[in-house]
Chain A
């Protein structure tokens, strides 16, 4: 058995996992009949369909013999990791730190995602964006954001 396409195999497995999960969860809800569908009916069968498709995709990715396609999955997680960290930081810092600080953290952390990070332009960008965000979104558009850190307003 040779894996002909790692990407397709991965996709098939993903579908099977998602489909089975939804089917399993939906089975706990009332099914009802076709004429009077319960909350579980539609998602249950969708999940089943997805699982079947997942099996078909995975099966298509595997063969008895032959040469594997060169589709290696290259992962360079630095970018993704820093983006996620910066978004989570935004969420965590927004209430205690206020918008300005949250934006600054996001810019600093996400800039680390890029290979060519240079300190001076990054700091300028951080300050500019923090100021701009507060001015445009809070004062300009009137969105409800805490501007100053919590400990200053308490």
Chain B
């Protein structure tokens, strides 16, 4: 069966010593990132992108992916022990997780989070493996008109499901699209928006925007608001859950995993949305809803499973269709482009070892993470004590070296600094930067497809409405916008957090 062939190719690729090391490094870094507050997965991936360019593509993607889902795992540790979510999707875990820790039950809470995450990760990878092939088959029927519509849908979906005020988020997307157009236009050979600076002819490297807006400004913000490291942590007595615990957490893990698997595929949904929904779901299904908020183990198992499942399935649209559903996925896409891999359905046919190797490696990564998260907890607790004032200069140095090494150009450093200022301004004005990155990565592609679509239709715009696939995609986009504007749902959106 073809599926088995693909899987064995994947195993062969993923089990190479080199790729195993990359997976391990990725998971380790991801866990670290999840644990250390003030350093989100988005900022870390931005920081490490330049260094991954030197690696060969499969290894680079394996490592970056490891950071991504590793952070989803790692954030739960601090959430439970110190009541500080290591990253956004672990916020929900603080609610019941920390309560359990205060009751001396940190061990079972951590176990529930880890076990749930592992199961969910396995399910997510399975879904990814099973559904990718049929999806890419579908995508092969897409022409430029359909692609354009799909990208618009991806962008609209990303802002309607996740971000804050819709209008401002759309504005951010457009800014991203415009920035993406800086540089030499391929079709006409004309240098656009470069203001006579030859350094800009190749366009703005997306690493510069990512590091500037996400890493630099995040450091500036942390220095402003909470420049210190967290305090003491609760004691852990025993890791093992009781029989009763296992009985209660099992259905939550199943529900959370299923929920996360589905939500993760949707563009813009993000890990936080999955954990938030899973929490609400658990509360509704529970026989003891009054226990929620006071240490209900379902409130830990469900959300943690959901966010890890979502972390895996979030790769589906990116790997199969070439449409990133979130800023982090946009970075992954950017990384693929740098390695000369054209993202889209052809990835599966042109680079099967990369595709299947990555998928299998995610499963292996989940295995590694269980090891990293349970026995090594004592070590992570020590790390929590590192004062931020020692940490952030190191991050800064790392970023500077990374940015410089992209094109060995000091001009790049100044551009990144400028984006740091821009990111700070955006934050102060309550503008979501994530849609900007999405728009930036997709900008040139949208323009190209739009152009081609209109060349094919000889200037006829109605082609977007007459071709069935394109029309239905655009219809879904419109529905999502209406959905986001309905007042009752508006509140729900504002309380659901975004990725970082």
Contact = CB atoms under 8 A, between A and B. Distances in A.
Majority secondary structure, B binding face: helix
Contacts of A50: 171, 174-175, 178
A84 B417 contact: yes
Given A30-B190, A50-B178, 7 more contacts: A37-B451, A43-B192, A56-B167, A57-B168, A60-B167, A90-B413, A94-B404
B227 interface: yes
Interface string B390-405: 1011101101110011
A83 B399 CA distance: 11
A17 to B, nearest CB: 11
Given A53-B170, A83-B220, A129-B394, A14 B178 contact: no
A109 to B, nearest CB: 9
Interface residues of A, number: 69
B235 interface: no
B227 A114 contact: yes
B487 to A, nearest CB: 15
A106 B399 CA distance: 11
Given A39-B187, A50-B171, A133 B227 contact: no
Nearest to A88: B417
Contact of A7 (B185, B220, B221, B428): B428
User: Considering residues A33, A110, A117, which has the most beta carbons from chain B within 10 angstroms of its beta carbon?
Assistant: A110
B461 interface: yes
Given A7-B430, A114-B223, A29 B417 contact: no
B174 A80 contact: no
Interface of A: 7-8, 10-11, 14-15, 18-19, 22, 25-26, 29-30, 33-39, 42-43, 46-47, 49-50, 53-54, 56-57, 60, 71, 73, 75-76, 78-80, 83-84, 86-88, 90-92, 94-95, 99, 102-103, 106-107, 110-111, 113-117, 121, 125, 129, 133, 137, 141, 143-145
A120 B424 CA distance: 30
Contacts of A117: 389
B454 to A, nearest CB: 5
Contact of B416 (A36, A54, A87, A133): A87
B425 interface: yes
Nearest to A106: B397
**Closest 3 A-B residue pairs measured CB to CB?**
A35-B459, A79-B223, A91-B413
B234 to A, nearest CB: 26
A110 B167 CA distance: 36
B408 A22 contact: no
A53 B455 contact: no
B193 interface: yes
B181 interface: yes
Given A10-B429, A114-B389, A83 B219 contact: yes
B177 A116 contact: no
A91 B459 CA distance: 47
Nearest to A87: B417
B343 to A, nearest CB: 21
